[in-house]
A and B are shown apart, each in its own frame.
Chain A
Amino acid sequence: MSDEISYQNQDLITNNPFTPRGQGSPEGTPIPNKFALPKDPKVRLLIILSAVVVILLLLSTIVTTVRQSTRNTTPVKVARVTQAPQPTDVPNTSNFPQDLKDQFDAADKNTQKQVNFDPPQIDNSIGL
């Protein structure tokens, strides 16, 4: 015996056009999930590819940000003048003949000289 109560008006579940899909239907059609992919294969492919592109964009942004922050902390390499490491047992020239000693002293002095006469830091856009 059916529990269904039959009515003679449009509130009848089976004839009511305003009832949501699946409700009152004798077959009990399940409510489709609005987040499910559409059935059209082309649309599905488009959505999947768009998602891949978005993910790649996000990843590239993250990687660029990480690289930039690393680059900012790394000091800029500047050409530095460094002397060769001196041997720990540097020969003592005090026992050398005087003329040789003087020559060695003059040569040592020259190797320690550095050119420190940098040009002035000027703004070449004054007046522009």
Chain B
Amino acid sequence: MWFLVLFLLFVHPVLAQDATASASPTLAPPTPTPYLFTQYSQDYLYQYGLYQQAYLDYVNKKQVYTKYGTITTQKDKYTATINALSARNLTLRSYLIALRTLLNDYQSSNPTATQKVQIDLSKWESWTNEQTTVIPALNNDSDVTRWATDFKNQYPLIQKSIYSALVQHEANLRQTTLIQIQSIADSIKNNSKIQPESQQWISTLAVKSDLVNTSINNSLNYTQRSQNQGRFSNFYPDSRLELSKANNYLIEIIGDLKLIVTKFYHP
């Protein structure tokens, strides 16, 4: 009995071991999500390198065939043509995939318009995907000529999609920056250490913000330019000019906001 009482007095609850650094396995840091555009753009550059090699080979074989005109040189030229067409097709496909991925970066500023452009790019990706099986199946020179003619007619439409996507991407970037600037203006308004007199200066920046939006809209309007069949009317330089104007206005607005904070901020 006494033994039992003594036992109960001195016994301690058996606790589990505390987790120690040596005892528990080290938690691995989460794997950072890879930036997909980097991967796809590297793949595109690799394919582009292969295309350039195949193209040089095609040009050489074509010249040799033109010079000698033998059956062997004709066969070599035909093989080189098929290889160059395949390489070109893969290059285009990898570029379209990378470009579609790039559009994800600032999609939130114009989600509907961006998605529309991405769908258009996907359509051409699917087309180039089909051609990976069509091209090797071309049997003779007349098939190759027919296919090449069809591609030449389609290519201006592919170019239109590509340049529209590039314009949309940059427009999204400038729009995102404008949203950031508006957020800065709101932060200035809400900061108690910045004098209220700053508000009247901030309100004058609305004019420049409108100019930014106008330039962005103009750049996007150029992408709607009608295209003649078989010939691409390049709107990209005009769009880029408008986007650079928008960027210049953004830089001016940021400079003005900094001056406002410098003048009216008293910590």
A interface residues, Cβ below 8 angstroms from B: 78-84, 86-87, 90-93, 95-97, 99-100, 103-104, 106-108, 110-111, 113, 115, 117, 119-120, 122-128
19 pairs of residues in contact across A and B, judged by CB atoms under 8 Å: A83-B247, A90-B255, A93-B258, A95-B262, A95-B267, A97-B193, A99-B187, A103-B184, A104-B184, A104-B258, A111-B247, A115-B173, A119-B163, A120-B92, A122-B88, A122-B91, A124-B152, A127-B81, A128-B149
Q: Are A123 and B251 in contact (CB under 8 A)?
A: no
Secondary structure of the B side of the interface? helix
Within 8 A of A (CB), among B216-267: 237-238, 240-241, 243-244, 247-252, 254-255, 257-259, 261-262, 265, 267
Interface 0/1 of B148-163, CB less than 8 Å to A: 1101100100010011
Q: Which residues of A contact B191 (CB under 8 A)?
A: 97, 100
Residues of A within 8 Å of B125, CB to CB, are: none
Interfacial chain A residues near B91, Cβ < 8 Å? 120, 122
Query: How far is the CB of B164 from the nearest CB of chain A, in Å?
Result: 12
A-B contact count (CB 8 A): 123
A122 pairs with B51, CB closer than 8 A: yes
Find B95's partner among A78, A86, A107, A120 (CB 8 Å cutoff): A120
Given A104-B257, A126-B55, 10 further pairs, Cβ under 8 A: A91-B259, A104-B258, A110-B173, A110-B180, A115-B173, A117-B99, A119-B163, A122-B88, A124-B151, A125-B148
B contacts with A, residue count (CB < 8 A)? 62
CA distance A83 to B247 in the complex (A): 7
In the complex, how many angstroms separate the beta carbon of B108 from the nearest chain A beta carbon? 14
**B60 close to A (CB within 8 Å):** no
B195 at interface (Cβ–Cβ under 8 A)?
A: no
Chain A residues whose CB sits within 8 angstroms of the CB of B265 once the complex forms: 95-97
Contact of A103 among B152, B159, B180, B255 (CB under 8 A): B180
**Interface residue ranges of B22-44 to A (CB < 8 Å):** 41, 44
Alpha-carbon distance A106/B106, docked complex (angstroms): 14
- A89 and chain B: residue at smallest CB distance: B259
With beta carbons under 8 angstroms apart, the residue of B180, B243, B248 that contacts A107 is B180
- Would A91 and B144 count as touching, CB distance under 8 A? no
B183 is an interface residue with CB less than 8 A from chain A? yes
Task: Closest A residue to B184 by CB, please name it.
Answer: A103
Specify which of A96, A111, A117, A126 is in contact with B166 (CB 8 Å cutoff): A117
A87 in contact with B255 (CB, 8 Å)? yes
Q: How far is the CA of A103 from the CA of B191 in the complex (A)?
A: 14
* Residues B259 and A117 in contact, CB atoms below 8 Å apart: no
Q: CA–CA, A8 to B181, complex, Å?
A: 122
Question: Which chain B residues in 91-138 approach chain A with CB under 8 Å?
Answer: 91-92, 95, 98-99, 102
A73 to B229, CA, bound (A): 33
Residue of A nearest to B54 (CB): A126
Contacts of B181 in A (CB 8 A): 107
* Bound-state Cα–Cα, A106 to B181, Å: 10
B196–chain A nearest beta-carbon distance, Å: 16
A35 to B237, CA, bound (A): 61
